[in-house]
Structure 1
Amino acid sequence: MMSGYIDRSKDIGPFVPRKDDNIIICRCEEITKGEIRMAVHMGLWTMNEVKRMLRPGMGLCQGQTCSKNVKNIIADELGISASFLDEATARPPVRPIEMGVFGNEVEKL
């Protein structure tokens, strides 16, 4: 889905704590709703910006359980529809690979 233009000159007001800010949104990285809201008020207005700072979607589930909620929290704080926000860039987890795999070598027993 194509994102809309986000006007960064718009004043979204100061961060005001809420009762539900302690709710864990990303269980893998233990990130709360309040942390995400605070990041938006610090100027991180896209999924990728929030992901780079707080790491939601970078845990074991790779955002399968939290990305929609993170996106909705960002959109709510900005006062826009979630459809205006791009999805976070997906990257597979990095794991060490033995060099023999690249050379297509077969280990002999």
Structure 2
Amino acid sequence: MIDLYVYYKVREEDAARLAPRVHAMQARLAAAGSAAAAQLKRRPEARDGLQTWMEVYPAASEGFGEVLEAAAREAGLAEFIQGPRRSEVFTDFTPCA
């Protein structure tokens, strides 16, 4: 299992239109059993009229990134995102013996 973090920039004036699309996409993924604990977050401040948003998908399967990107395309998220969606993968820390 992995934890997947996806972040991107959103114009402040587009936030109210994008949020429902992201929440609906996450609900569809949860209903399909792909992302039960999905979260949507943003930085508290904006810079140059842009907010930084982050989607968080803890305990996702190894192939979930491709499923998520297909869902994002289907949801039309790119229409309201400035620049790329960037993904970061994290795993649990296992200390050395």
Question: Considering only CA atoms, is the larger Rg found in Structure 1 or Structure 2?
Answer: 1
Normalised by the length of structure 1, the TM-score is: 0.38
Q: Which has the higher contact order (CA 8 A, sep 6+)?
A: 2
Normalised by the length of structure 2, the TM-score is: 0.40
- The structure whose residues are more often strand, as a share, is 2
